[in-house]
Amino acid sequence: MGRFLLILCLCLSGFVAAAGDESWPSFRGPGARGVAETAAPTTWDLEKGTHVLWKQAIPGLAHSSPVVWGDRIFLTTSVPAEADDELKVGLYGDIAPVKNEVVQDLQVMALDRKTGKVVWQETAFRGVPKIKRHTKATHANSTPATDGKRVAAFFGSEGLYVYDIKGKLLWKKDFGVLDSGFFMVPQAQWGFGSSPVFHEDKLLVLADVQKGSFLAAFDAKSGKELWRTERSDVPTWGTPTVIEAGGKKQVVVNGFRHMGGYDLASGKELWKLHGTGDIPVPTPFEAHGLIYVSQAHGPGNPVYAIKPGAKGDITLGEGKTSNDHVAWSVPRGGSYMPTPIIVGDLLYVCRDNGALTVYRAKTGEQVYRQRLGKGAAYTASAVAAGDKVYFTSEDGDVYVVRAGETYDEVAVNALDEVTLASPAVADGTLYFRTRGHLIAIGAKK
């Protein structure tokens, strides 16, 4: 019996480790915070191989991030049947989608975490996507999610697919056409971007689209729809996040007309807030007992710090930056594409033009501002490992900044390829998904 209990404890401790700093199960990791406690290398050299554990070529075009659990890495990609993987990066305002779409293989992949070798590769969908992509987007923008038993991949209008960790399809859902283009110019189709999230026995999906927006929960094992809540919002691209407040769990989502919180068990709306950024992209997250949401397009670019116990319509009055439910806000300090990050007591907000503003997370007081690089664009969200924050430009330059009240640039490292996907961090290793590769940066053991 004693030996059995010892084995059981070891198994349980291994499971807990897999669900902690050694895993990165969904977009931005646990709680969408983007933070890992274990430090990772601050410098590397791809040519010399310094701190490069492996570099694996990945076919197709995708901005989805890798996710990590145990000895596996999962990711998605869109492989064109013909040469149609043009990608236009940088800072520009062209809203037109890519023309003359071709047949795509929308694939889910599993890689060996130690070697980077492909373990399995399944095609979820083959055909011409129903919705066009933006010239800066892909048909595989959504990051997959895993709970250690299953892997979920969401390809928008081409469906939601759930596999076991060995690559067997367990169930799928077709939601019809999910057009998340520019609501003011409907013909400007841009592709889908919200990622699925596992929480306990549920799989959560957000589909804010031109018509029929909703937030829904499915039974992770069977695919049975548990609840679906309609949302009267324009297209958004953020991922839902589960937080706990007052002993109850809620699903928090970004939005323009309707960012808000929903009861995890029933889908019932708990609170809502009308934003001022009309193309919401960043994902909400919780830290220091507050929910942080950011926007930066259209009439405003706010940052909100919301109390988790909020109820009803908590929209701020004209000229107000706080109320009973909003601890603080900054009307013009938010980010457009990257999700902000909190390391220690500081909130780092990087705009798509590389303008970094740091605030005190609890009060909203500005600490400093700094420009990252010169003229580069930023789409990937920052991550942190230990006390270092990693900001990745679209040019593939990674700025490593020491967390603190002054700007302390530790290093600038090159990935040698265009990079728009947010990296993953697990057990002291950084996983960067570039234009054509997945690269593991870590200390060689």
pLDDT in tens, 180-215: 999 999 999 999 999 999 999 999 999 999 999 999
pLDDT value, residue 210: 96
Mean pLDDT, rounded, for 51-61: 97
Give, as one character, the DSSP assignment of residue 282.
Answer: S
pLDDT value, residue 85: 78
Mean pLDDT, rounded, for 275-304: 95
For residue 426, what are the β-bridge partners? 429
Length of the chain: 445
Q: Kindly tell me if the per-residue pLDDT of 8 is higher than 50.
A: no
Give, as one character, the DSSP assignment of residue 235.
Answer: -
pLDDT value, residue 4: 36
CB 69 within 8 Å of CB 23: yes
pLDDT value, residue 246: 82
Nearest Cα to Cα of residue 403 among 391, 421, 393: 391
Average pLDDT, the chain: 94
Mean pLDDT, rounded, for 2-17: 36
Give the integer Cα–Cα distance in Å for 352 and 367.
Answer: 20
pLDDT value, residue 22: 82
Q: Give the strands of the sheet with 424-426, arranged side by side.
A: 52-57, 437-441, 429-433, 424-426
Q: Kindly tell me if the per-residue pLDDT of 414 is higher than 60.
A: yes
Give tens-digit pLDDT for 150-165.
999 999 999 999 999 9
- Say if strands 225-230 and 214-219 run parallel, antiparallel, or are unpaired: antiparallel
Give the integer Cα–Cα distance in Å for 361 and 383.
Answer: 16
Give tens-digit pLDDT for 384-409.
999 999 999 999 999 999 999 999 99
Q: Kindly tell me if the per-residue pLDDT of 445 is higher than 80.
A: no
Q: What value does the CA radius of gyration of the chain take, rounded to a whole number of Å?
A: 20
Band (pLDDT 50/70/90 cuts) for residue 237 is very high
Q: Kindly tell me if the per-residue pLDDT of 16 is higher than 70.
A: no
Give the integer Cα–Cα distance in Å for 379 and 336.
Answer: 9
Mean pLDDT, rounded, for 222-238: 97
The number of C-alpha atoms within 13 Å of 377 and in the hemisphere containing its C-beta is 15
What percentage of the chain reaches a pLDDT higher than 90? 91
Give tens-digit pLDDT for 101-119.
899 999 999 999 999 999 9
Give the integer Cα–Cα distance in Å for 392 and 411.
Answer: 12
pLDDT value, residue 84: 66
Mean pLDDT, rounded, for 23-33: 98
pLDDT value, residue 14: 35
Mean pLDDT, rounded, for 411-439: 98
pLDDT value, residue 63: 98
Give the integer Cα–Cα distance in Å for 80 and 139.
Answer: 10
pLDDT value, residue 30: 97
Band (pLDDT 50/70/90 cuts) for residue 17 is very low
Tokens found for residue 168: 């067997």
For residue 205, what are the β-bridge partners? 216
Nearest Cα to Cα of residue 325 among 340, 315, 317, 336: 315
Domains of the chain by start residue, with CATH: 14-441 (2.140.10.10)
Mean pLDDT, rounded, for 24-41: 98
pLDDT value, residue 19: 43
Band (pLDDT 50/70/90 cuts) for residue 135 is very high
Band (pLDDT 50/70/90 cuts) for residue 15 is very low
Taking CA atoms, 319 is separated from 44, 429, 432, in Å, by 47, 45, 41
Give tens-digit pLDDT for 350-379.
999 999 999 999 999 999 999 998 889 999
Give the integer Cα–Cα distance in Å for 153 and 145.
Answer: 7
